[in-house]
Structure 1
Amino acid sequence: MSDNNVTIRDNLKEVYSDVYTPEVLSTLSALAPFNRRIKEVMTARMQRRAARQQNQTRITFLDPASTIPGTTITVQDAREGNFEGSVIPADLKRQWIQGTGPAAKPNTPVENSIRNVAYALLSGADGWMFDGEDALGQVATMSLDNQRNLKLAIHKDPLFLTVAARVSEEINWWSTSFLGRDIITDWEKQLDFTTKIFRARGLHLDDRHVRDTDGVAMAASLVDATLYVVNNYKALQQAGSSIVLYLPKIQTAEEAGVWSALLDALETQIGLESGTVKVYVLVEQLEATHQLMEIRAALGKHFVGYNTGRWDYINSVSDAMAWDKTFINPNIEAITMTYGYMRNYEDRVRRAVNTPDRNGNFALWQGGMEPNIPVGSEEGVSASMKKAIAGAEREQREGASGKWVAHWKMVHIVRPVWEEIGEANQLGREFPRLTYTQQDADGLILIEPAPTDIRGARNLLSVALQYGNAFGQGMQAAALKPADFFGNDDILYLMEDMATGEIRLSILWEWAHKGAILTENDVETGTKAGDVFTEALYERLRDEEYEKLLKAGNKDVFDSSKTTTLPIAREIADVYMLSEIKPPWFIDLLNINLNNLDLDVAKDRIRLYMDTLTNEGKRITENLDF
């Protein structure tokens, strides 16, 4: 199907006519020229990455006298707050707990798939970030199912209301047994409590169903934002709700400026006042921490706040420092928000949001993700919940206005931390202005001594393999734990998404290619403290951890996946780990194998990707089945 500047594959325009409405199609067509600009900044991103690797250089701060590309704002003005930001809308002023998760399930009828939305909106969360990116599977037409479900829920379709009534009973059944009380007294009223927020896919990803007039895959960010905003802006405004997006994976103020221009054009196209669409930005990239005020300024009246997403940030630091043999991350469990470069990153974010713009407006800081789920033994759940509450208390003390949870059951466990304080937010809390010294830059890549051991390697590898498998099955958000703990209810499953998958292979790649020194003796492998982690050791652990997954029960590893997506996940992990050239994104290798269950086909696609990356410095991001 073609509509002026866009082509939609197969018969999806007809099957999803409720999503690809005439207004959506005309808006997509009008915004299609942005696809070229997005591709340009993504090419520039890869060129910067290649130059850093080749020249062995670190990321630096911008020249204060320069102008942010694509804007008229100087870097110095941005840093001083000499720009027009946003007043925080009423429904975003108190966001103590935001839940995150997709609005759809893989290969599931609407009435079952839409239960995700019902659980979210009845959870008691102040906001819910419905995910179109890291937690949303992309098999078949899941991105469109996600949009369909959100539209049905936001418009209070009878189907959604019927499902919500049933889900409210299930939530109260759980809360009565776990919390000793009902969470929901009036489910219809409760549906209006939670602010609806949507996370579009990052600029680095392509949509699987839409191409532009040149036959180039359409940037997923452009498609996601258009579909969500156009399909729902009227209903949201009629309900007195803000139109809010989360923007992921931004690396530079220039990229933020592209987003800003895209949102301006989208607002113009559908007749919204400039600055109506509000955005949070996930600070997930090392380069972004060098340009926080500049990103705020570039997004201007759209920008309301930052979120400190731990996992993606670790991955970006690892990737930016891939050339530096001295930069080696320890066990993932050691890299908490108080670790080395992480605490410096968090400190810069809180200082950036509490620097006022020219009108005295501050911005919000939404704290990081709580991945725990209260399911397991009494002892295991108790220990994990104490840890979750302690983490929330720390973020509240540090200045966060709220935090994220990865499961609806965590909302009423963590929310009391902010509820007891009673402050709607921490806007304007005084922190020193940002500085831009060499010491600041060094702090953003600060490695501190911590364990690097075989147990840590097994955990990284087991979950990486499981995650790749879950991705292929359509579950980009999955409750996982290392295979050695299957059947041990004292060790809880954690909600893992694409970000956690990325970092596990990224750290293992460092260990194998930079010669990480093990800090502990290990009886099973016979390694000693002081030994080097080698590729041969990786291969041994891979074989052992893979065998455990093949022997695992259907609860932990779907039996059907053991001859389909699991071997592909292993192949991807191997190619990533054994390549001298570090792939920029684990998700790229997974994406090109979506809906493919044939290992030989996967090997051909992986080889094509790596050859293209090595010889041309380019990523393959399009749907190879289009």
Structure 2
Amino acid sequence: MNARMEVLGPQGERFDEILTPEALRFLARLHESFVGRRHEALTARMERRRGIENGRDLDFLSETRAIREDPDWRVAGAGPGLDDRRVEITGPTDRKMTVNAMNSGAKVWLADHEDATSPTWANVVGGQVNLCDAIRRQIDFTSAEGKEYRLGESTPTIVFRPRGWHLVEKHLRFTDGPGIAGPASASLVDFGLYAFHNAHELIARGSGPYFYLPKLESHLEARLWDDVFSLSEQLLGVPHGTIRATVLIETIPAAFEMEEILYELRDHCAGLNAGRWDYIFSIIKNFRGRGAAFTLPDRARITMTVPFMRAYTELLVATCHKRGAHAIGGMSAFIPNRRDPEVTARALEQVAADKRREARDGFDGTWVAHPDLIPTAQAEFDAVLDERPNQLDRMRDDVRVDARALLDLTIEGEVTDAGVAANVSIAVRYLESWLRGVGAAAIDDLMEDAATAEISRSQLWQWIRQGTVTREGTRVTAAFVERLLSAELEVRRTPDGRFEDAAELVRGLALGDDFPTFLTIEAYSRFLVEPEVEVAITSPATGSGAVGEGRAA
């Protein structure tokens, strides 16, 4: 094997425990085997999106009809410790949040290196350190105020979410022969380090290496992950099918290929998740230039009961249960405020209604973003499940969802001046938090992550391009958004904050002629990569971009 993985990022505390020679060889083997197919997948995404922009309508695939019509195949299903998923808590893997999640009382912790994590080098590797410690029950944390956090007796099953195929990890360089070098795939780095260090330990403790797969757009991308899993199991010496994955259906192309995605991952698949926020972003991104019929109103008006969201979630439950897979609901953005009883009461009411609808629709579990929401969510699922771990036996034969239903964007509501201002404020404040290394931020009593920020900035871009006029009669223009940005900066600017940088990013993301496919791509390259790493990765002596930066995503 000529391939190797070089560490360009600085060494941090205990990084040597994660970035071992053996782990780097494992990563190099994964890259050698799959980096070319990753590029093919990203190119296919770009071509599909260009077709949609040019007026091609999405539909279910004729070439895979036989898979959908075959009644006999099933997925592997839940692995040990994953049978009951009625409440899953999501969050980043910094040390305090890790301990809190492990003590939350949830059935599952979604340990997130994707939308809830700002991918600083310290967060990427430090999060792996924290996961290793948590799995081995060797983790604790003492706050600056002296408060101690230690693990309780009962802890949730961990499901780890790596970054998506479109992202790179520039602090690691993959080389495969003379003159061929480039940044590593963030997906393979996150997955590979977690699997390499923890697979055997998790199995020994009665669980297994379980993953959430984000941002998939096709069954061919699922096939790529399945092959990554199979090779990894072979290299790690664990039985085929030990790895289990839950796929987030959070892009509109993937909604038309749910059964095919399950089929491709059937030996490794536990279920599907309705990733609502990225799904809304995907709708906007793909149809942003298709006219007023595809222009959505204020973000607050896009609820789970509007036609296209209702069709998508009902199809997901029916598809999962038909094939023996868990259907996991999404995250309501409302969060409690322990200093404001009124806000907390409103959040609990909203979350209860959301989880009640999911449980009654047939979902087997759901997400929350705050420990205080777990009792509310669990009560709604307990009311439906009782002592059963799930409701996989509930077939949704009544569901009939066609392409028209998935693309029915009829919503009662308008774009308002307040909605435009809210999107500007959310985008600036979230990106400022992200630039400081905090990827999940409480803003106006809502939990914002990269996916919700994507909705805000993509709506701004679309409203400007479509010449949208608000309910109050204001035309949404670049100049109008720029004035709102300036006003936001006047209110938010602090000496030690990153608001100027955040506003600069919003200008590029929302006001430019081009539409950046993900806000994280440019923001990461410009602000989170160590300067000496950027020089090394683009040096002519080492080649540039053979592995690529995912900009075709």
1:267 is aligned to 2:230: no
Report the secondary structure of 2:111's partner residue: strand
1:219-618 mapped onto 2 (5 Å cutoff): 219-326=185-292, 327-356=294-323, 362-375=324-337, 376-421=339-384, 422=386, 423-432=388-397, 437=402, 440-481=403-444, 493-519=445-471, 521=472, 528=473, 531-550=474-493, 559-561=495-497, 565-595=498-528
1:216 alignment partner, one of 182, 194, 200:
182
Structure 1 residue aligned with 2:26: 27
Q: Is the 8 A contact 1:368 1:403 kept in 2?
A: yes
Q: Is the 8 A contact 1:373 1:494 kept in 2?
A: yes
Report the secondary structure of 1:319's partner residue: helix
1:116 alignment partner, one of 70, 93, 97:
97
Deviation at 1:210, TM superposition (A): 1.8
Deviation at 1:508, TM superposition (A): 1.3
The residue type equivalent to 1:593 in the other structure is: R
Deviation at 1:368, TM superposition (A): 0.7
CA, structure 1 residues 31+457, in 2 after alignment: closer, same or farther (shift >3 Å)?
same
1:190 alignment partner, one of 136, 144, 154:
154
1:389-437 deviations in Å (ceiling 9; x for gaps): 1111111111111110112222223222223431321103121387674
Deviation at 1:161, TM superposition (A): 5.0
1:53-83 deviations in Å (ceiling 9; x for gaps): 2x232223212xx2xxxxxxx4422453454
Q: Is the 8 A contact 1:345 1:444 kept in 2?
A: no
Structure 2 residue aligned with 1:141: 122
1:289-334 deviations in Å (ceiling 9; x for gaps): 0100000001111111111111100000001102201211111111
Aligned counterparts of 2:234 and 2:529: Cα–Cα separation in 1: 40
When structure 1 is superposed on structure 2, of 367-376 and 299-308 the one drifting more is 367-376
CA, structure 1 residues 227+597, in 2 after alignment: closer, same or farther (shift >3 Å)?
closer
Aligned counterparts of 2:483 and 2:508: Cα–Cα separation in 1: 15
CA, structure 1 residues 576+315, in 2 after alignment: closer, same or farther (shift >3 Å)?
same
The residue type equivalent to 1:476 in the other structure is: G
Aligned counterparts of 1:5 and 1:75: Cα–Cα separation in 2: 41
2:111 alignment partner, one of 95, 105, 130:
130
Q: Is the 8 A contact 1:317 1:445 kept in 2?
A: no
Aligned counterparts of 1:79 and 1:62: Cα–Cα separation in 2: 12
CA, structure 1 residues 219+596, in 2 after alignment: closer, same or farther (shift >3 Å)?
closer
Q: Is the 8 A contact 2:4 2:24 kept in 1?
A: no
1:100 is aligned to 2:90: yes
Report the secondary structure of 2:394's partner residue: coil
Structure 1 residue aligned with 2:543: none
Q: Is the 8 A contact 1:467 1:501 kept in 2?
A: yes
The residue type equivalent to 2:331 in the other structure is: M
CA, structure 1 residues 167+355, in 2 after alignment: closer, same or farther (shift >3 Å)?
farther
Deviation at 1:340, TM superposition (A): 2.4
Deviation at 1:170, TM superposition (A): 6.9
CA, structure 1 residues 75+205, in 2 after alignment: closer, same or farther (shift >3 Å)?
farther
Deviation at 1:275, TM superposition (A): 1.1
CA, structure 1 residues 266+619, in 2 after alignment: closer, same or farther (shift >3 Å)?
closer
Structure 2 residue aligned with 1:107: none
The residue type equivalent to 1:509 in the other structure is: W
Q: Is the 8 A contact 2:289 2:462 kept in 1?
A: no
Report the secondary structure of 1:119's partner residue: helix
CA, structure 1 residues 420+474, in 2 after alignment: closer, same or farther (shift >3 Å)?
same
Q: Is the 8 A contact 1:329 1:510 kept in 2?
A: no
Aligned counterparts of 1:234 and 1:295: Cα–Cα separation in 2: 27
Report the secondary structure of 2:131's partner residue: helix
Report the secondary structure of 2:158's partner residue: strand
> TM-score scaled to structure 1, two decimals?
0.79
Deviation at 1:276, TM superposition (A): 0.7
The residue type equivalent to 1:384 in the other structure is: A
CA, structure 1 residues 541+271, in 2 after alignment: closer, same or farther (shift >3 Å)?
same
1:434-478 deviations in Å (ceiling 9; x for gaps): 7674xx345334232313101111111101011111111111111
Aligned counterparts of 2:317 and 2:511: Cα–Cα separation in 1: 38
Q: Is the 8 A contact 1:371 1:407 kept in 2?
A: no
When structure 1 is superposed on structure 2, of 140-149 and 78-87 the one drifting more is 78-87
Aligned counterparts of 2:228 and 2:549: Cα–Cα separation in 1: 24
Aligned counterparts of 1:83 and 1:413: Cα–Cα separation in 2: 36
Aligned counterparts of 2:442 and 2:88: Cα–Cα separation in 1: 19
Deviation at 1:236, TM superposition (A): 0.8
Aligned counterparts of 2:326 and 2:243: Cα–Cα separation in 1: 16
Deviation at 1:22, TM superposition (A): 3.9
Aligned counterparts of 1:234 and 1:569: Cα–Cα separation in 2: 42
Deviation at 1:543, TM superposition (A): 2.1
Structure 2 residue aligned with 1:181: none
CA, structure 1 residues 270+335, in 2 after alignment: closer, same or farther (shift >3 Å)?
same
Deviation at 1:46, TM superposition (A): 1.4
CA, structure 1 residues 320+433, in 2 after alignment: closer, same or farther (shift >3 Å)?
farther
Aligned counterparts of 2:189 and 2:432: Cα–Cα separation in 1: 27
Deviation at 1:115, TM superposition (A): 2.2
The residue type equivalent to 2:488 in the other structure is: E
Q: Is the 8 A contact 2:37 2:224 kept in 1?
A: yes
* Structure 2: tracts of 5 or more residues without a match: 539-546
1:44-63 mapped onto 2 (5 Å cutoff): 44-53=44-53, 55-63=54-62
